[in-house]
Structure 1
């Protein structure tokens, strides 16, 4: 289905759960909060997405997607430390930025895989090296920076 293995289908479905939970958290709470349902679903689905991704070798071996999975897990570890106040007064800002960038990490492969596979038979882009993907990734990064800045300012302003 869509050129995916069974593991690829499971991985994609789990990642979609993470993305929808992340969107739910952003719209409801303006951040991913691991202490509520949306945040927990996002967190666990993101971890499962990374773990299942390590078994996918569609491009021959260890590659950029695997590295992104490792970076995502390390970033979640950073957020976990921040949630335990390991960064002092900056802990809340580190936490909110770390969880938010993991959402960006979901969007990069989502856009890449979606645009190189869909629509079936005539994908939008020829491959993952298409220059248009660099532009989209840049726009996603700018959106992350704007959102993270807004989130940190909102934290400083208080409830």
Structure 2
């Protein structure tokens, strides 16, 4: 459903938020390792997130990526998705057809409209804080740690 870049962007944002709660900035290397993403690809995604004011980049010896604690609860998942993938997830055809609309619907058009609407609702009503706290509490995870 999401592009690979978007998946990585969501995971990176959650990881940065978790560390920001602990007053820790994280390096691109740490992020790419945690989310299993190539480092150069991760760096590009992080630049997009910085450009869209979702995360903050701090230069220098104690630099890295962070999110101001007071803004973590205001960042919606929809902002991250739009920063990386734009709004095509809300408009695209469920079967990938170039032309698919109410006048020329694909076989799943009407059903997919409902799915897109529910997805949009979920993305607009889920914030980064909810996701980060679920991971901190152990209710969900980003990566299964191997012993």
TM bucket normalised to smaller:
0.3 to 0.5
Larger strand proportion of the pair = 2
Larger helix proportion of the pair = 1
Query: Normalising to structure 2: TM-score of the pair?
Result: 0.40
Query: Normalising to structure 1: TM-score of the pair?
Result: 0.38
Larger relative contact order (C-alpha < 8 A, sep ≥ 6)? 2
